Structures are given as C-alpha cells and as structure tokens.
C-alpha cells in the first residue's frame, strides 16, 4: 500500500496551471467581447438596412449573427465554468466589458448617423450593454473591496505579519 501522494504540491500546481494561465483568460475574454460586439454590430446593420433585402442577404446576416453569438457563448462558458476569475481578474474583466460596450455603442451610433437611419434603437441597445457592464464593474469593485478589508482585518489579528 502506497501511503504518499505520487504528486507533490508543486506537481499539482503545475497540473492546474492551464486553468490558471492568463492565456486561457485572454482567449475567453476575447471570444466573449468580439462575439458580443460582432453580434450587436451585424444585428444593427441588418436592422437598419434601408429598403427590402433579398432572402439570401437575410440568410447571410442571420448566419453571421448566429456565428458571433456562438463565439460570445463560448467565451461566456469559458469564463463562468472553466476559468476561475478571482476578484482582481473580475475587476479587470468588468472594466474591459465597460470599455468594449462604450466603444461598440459609439461606433454603431456613428454608423447609424452616417447612414441616416435613426440612432434611437442603437442607443437603446448600446445603453443596455453599458448599463449591464456598469453594474458588473460596481459589483466587482465592491467584492474586491470587501475581500481587501477582510484581509486587513485578518492580517491585523496576527501581529508581526504583513501581507
């Protein structure tokens, strides 16, 4: 009977490193952002297209939107299920989300204004994205602040220990 784990703690950390690597996070965030922005962009183009469109163009728009949504869903799945996002990562991710929402809304508004179609719907959709992103920023900041406070309290309880 072997009574020692075959893997040392160091080996275990190394085996876990794919889940902790920044590369997986960046891939997940990129897929989510590019997918969501692409879907909104293509959706807006489709929606604001002046004049009746042939059936094939509708199909192309639908396929492209679905493709973008699939990437966004993959990114979202990676971020929520596969990649652990710790408090600081969440703050960064939320700010990236806010920046991307603002950028997408701005680009879409400019495009809609240039094409002479109404900017109202674009602003409504973009505004929705920005609002959700803002809520995520506030939540992430609050969670991180709470953890930092707890760390200070716990470190304070151990004299001579700084962390």
Partner 1 sequence: MTDELLVVRAQLGERAALAELLARWQVPVWTYVRRMLDADRADDVSQEIWLAVVRGLPRLRDPERFAPWLFTIARRSVTDRLRGEYSQAEERSGAADAAVEDPAEAMVDRAALVSVLSDLPVLEREILVLFYLEDLPVEECAYICRIPAGTVKSRLNRARRLLRDHLEEKGYRP
Binding residues vs partner 1 (CB under 8 A)? 1-3, 5-7, 9, 12-13, 15-16, 19-20, 81-90, 144, 147-148, 150-151, 154-155, 158, 161, 163
Shortest distance (Å) from residue 25 CB to partner 1: 11
Would you give the distance in Å from CA 155 to the centre of its chain?
33
- Nearest distance, CB of residue 151 and partner 1, angstroms: 5
Give the nearer residue to partner 1 in terms of CB position, either 40 or 94: 94
Cβ-based neighbours of 140, under 8 Å, separated by 6 or more: 87, 90, 91, 93, 94
How far is the CA of 113 from the CAs of 9, 46, 119, in angstroms?
Answer: 58, 15, 6
CA angle in degrees (0–180, nearest 5) for 63-65-71: 105
Q: Report in angstroms how near the CB of residue 2 gets to partner 1 at its nearest.
A: 5
d(CA 114, CA 84): 42
Longest dimension (CA), the chain: 78
Residue 69, classified by CB atoms within 10 Å of its CB into exposed (0-12), middle (13-18) or buried (19+), is middle
Whichever of 7 and 131 has its CB closer to partner 1, that residue is 7
Residue closer to partner 1, measured from CB, 62 or 142: 142
Considering beta carbons, is residue 58 or 151 the nearer one to partner 1?
A: 151
Q: Which of 45/85 has CB closer to partner 1?
A: 85
DSSP H or E segment with residue 15: helix 9-20
Least CB distance to partner 1 at residue 147 (A): 5
* Residue 14 Cβ vs partner 1, minimum distance, rounded to whole Å: 10
């Amino acid at each position: 009977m072997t009574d020692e784990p075959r893997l040392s703690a160091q080996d275990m950390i190394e085996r876990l490193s794919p889940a902790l690597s920044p590369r997986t996070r960046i891939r997940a965030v990129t897929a989510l952002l590019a997918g969501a922005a692409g879907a909104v962009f293509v959706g807006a183009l489709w929606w604001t297209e002046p004049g009746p469109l042939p059936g094939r163009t509708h199909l192309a728009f639908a396929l492209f939107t679905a493709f973008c949504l699939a990437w966004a869903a993959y990114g979202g799945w990676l971020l929520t299920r596969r990649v652990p996002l710790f408090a600081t990562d969440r703050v960064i991710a939320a700010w990236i989300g806010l920046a991307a929402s603002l950028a997408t809304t701005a680009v879409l508004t400019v495009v809609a204004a240039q094409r002479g179609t109404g900017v109202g719907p674009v602003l409504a959709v973009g505004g929705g994205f920005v609002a959700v992103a803002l809520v995520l920023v506030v939540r992430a900041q609050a969670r991180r602040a709470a953890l930092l406070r707890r760390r200070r309290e716990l470190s304070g309880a151990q004299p001579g220990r700084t962390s």
